[in-house]
């Protein structure tokens, strides 16, 4: 009995010792472990960011070394140790002259004799300074040069603003000051100059933030904006975007409960048709779900196509006819019309209906 009690007591002591050892192992909590630098220009020089960490477990922590996967990335870090609950920062410097296009750089933090090996990342898009300014900025608007005439924001969802950086070159003789920039744009488009000054023959960046939740439209949209600096002529830019509702992921158990848009046909082939005769087609839409289906928008890619439908909501199990009228006049050869149907179906919120034909 005494031997049994001794073994049980020893086991408890070992358990406490093991637990104490686990608690003594250092653990860091990083405020963020990945920082996006956005679009950066070579002539802007070094970009510096700070990663903040806190010792959340263990009694003491000190950084041994920090490794990077590129000579373009340098790091400075505190040499003193920190105690439980204390915080510190490391500084990471990135030289954009060594990168072109998208980059992602690893920073490996080691400490407490191998107890800690945490990975951090900096990423962004680096744009080298061009050798031929006129060739690289062929679109001249006033005293500014751009690579393209239009700014395409791409897919923009209504849950958060979409940010894009527009690059330009100052071909003028005067510096462009950030605080003197004036913008005329819809309320859902915000524009600001990134640098405080853009001097002659220097490149600048305009930060464009697009808030889709501030406009009711869906699908492809286009807007005109106007910018100018003090004592400079106004410049017009076209902003393109594809707007979508955001739907959070749903569980498998909820799939049968949500609205479900079903198209009886997704491809209509009219075959050979005459350019002088209107073409009419009916397409059946159904709600196979157990909640009300909302048809939020139907968008076509041509004014030659007219779409008519009697209502915008379908009850569970309800059907509706979509009436299509296609006018092929003035067209010849293989033709394809795309019809985009936007709904509150969270699994397939946008569905494509294609109308094809061979026009004689």
Task: Tell me, yes or no, whether 346 lies in a domain.
Answer: yes
Last residue of a domain, one of 217, 244, 271: 244
Last residue of a domain, one of 127, 147, 164: 127
255-274 residue pLDDT tens: 888 999 999 899 999 999 99
φ/ψ region of 231 (left if φ > 0, alpha if ψ in -120 to 50, else beta) reads left
Task: Tell me, yes or no, whether 352 lies in a domain.
Answer: yes
Same domain, 180 and 239: yes
Same domain, 202 and 169: yes
Taken in order 322, 328, 332, 338, the sign of the CA dihedral is: negative
Same domain, 212 and 264: no
Same domain, 159 and 195: yes
Same domain, 117 and 141: no
Same domain, 79 and 141: no
Task: Tell me, yes or no, whether 78 lies in a domain.
Answer: yes
* pLDDT value of position 3: 52
* pLDDT value of position 43: 81
206-237 residue pLDDT tens: 999 999 999 989 999 999 999 999 878 899 99
Name residue 120's beta-bridge partners.
Answer: 107
Task: Tell me, yes or no, whether 293 lies in a domain.
Answer: yes
315-328 residue pLDDT tens: 999 999 999 999 99
Domain of residue 227, CATH code: 2.60.40.10
76-114 in b/e form (b: 16+ CB < 10 A) is ebeeeebeeeeebebebebbbeebeeebebebebebbee
Low-confidence ranges of the chain (pLDDT < 70): 1-24
Last residue of a domain, one of 209, 244, 279: 244
Q: pTM for this structure?
A: 0.74
Task: Tell me, yes or no, whether 165 lies in a domain.
Answer: yes
* pLDDT value of position 76: 93
Same domain, 115 and 151: no
| SS3 label, residue 42 | helix
Task: Tell me, yes or no, whether 16 lies in a domain.
Answer: no
**Mean pLDDT, rounded, of the chain:** 89
Domain count along the chain: 3
Same domain, 256 and 218: no
Task: Tell me, yes or no, whether 13 lies in a domain.
Answer: no
* pLDDT value of position 16: 43
Tell me which residue range forms the domain holding 185. Answer: 133-244
* pLDDT value of position 219: 92
DSSP 111-149: ETTTTEEEEEEEEEEEEPPPS-HHHH--EEETTEEES-S
Same domain, 231 and 259: no
Task: Tell me, yes or no, whether 276 lies in a domain.
Answer: yes
* pLDDT value of position 6: 47
């Amino acid at each position: 009995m005494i031997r049994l009690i001794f073994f049980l007591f020893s086991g408890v002591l070992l358990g406490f010792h093991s637990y104490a050892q686990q608690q003594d192992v250092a653990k860091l909590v990083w405020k963020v472990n990945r920082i996006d630098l956005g679009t950066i220009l070579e002539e802007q020089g070094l970009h510096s960011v700070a990663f903040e960490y806190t010792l959340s477990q263990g009694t003491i922590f000190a950084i041994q070394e920090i490794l990077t996967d590129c000579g373009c990335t340098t790091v400075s870090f505190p040499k003193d140790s920190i105690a439980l609950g204390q915080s510190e920062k490391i500084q990471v410097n990135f030289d954009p002259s060594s990168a072109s296009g998208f980059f992602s750089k690893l920073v490996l933090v080691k400490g407490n004799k191998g107890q800690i090996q945490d990975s951090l990342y900096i990423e962004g898009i680096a744009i080298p300074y061009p050798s031929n300014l006129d060739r690289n900025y062929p679109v001249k608007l006033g005293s500014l040069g751009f690579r393209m005439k239009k700014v395409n924001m791409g897919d923009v969802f209504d849950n958060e603003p979409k940010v894009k950086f527009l690059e330009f070159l100052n071909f003028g003789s005067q510096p462009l000051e950030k605080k003197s920039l004036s913008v005329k744009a819809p309320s859902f488009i915000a524009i600001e100059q990134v640098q405080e000054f853009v001097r002659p023959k220097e490149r600048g960046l305009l930060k464009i933030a697009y808030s889709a939740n501030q406009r009711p439209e869906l699908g492809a949209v286009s807007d005109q904006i106007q910018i100018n600096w003090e004592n400079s002529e106004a410049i017009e830019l076209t902003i393109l975007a594809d707007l979508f509702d955001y739907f959070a992921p749903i569980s498998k158990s909820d799939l049968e409960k949500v609205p479900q848009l079903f198209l009886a046909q997704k491809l209509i082939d009219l075959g050979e048709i005459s350019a002088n005769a209107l073409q009419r087609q009916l397409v059946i839409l159904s709600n196979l779900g157990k909640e009300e289906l909302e048809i939020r928008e139907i968008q076509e890619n041509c004014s030659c196509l007219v779409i008519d439908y009697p209502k915008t909501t379908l009850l569970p199990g309800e059907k509706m006819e979509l009436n299509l009228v296609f006018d092929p006049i003035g067209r010849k050869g293989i033709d394809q019309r795309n019809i985009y149907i936007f709904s509150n179906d969270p699994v397939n919120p946008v569905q494509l209906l294609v109308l094809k034909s061979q026009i004689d």
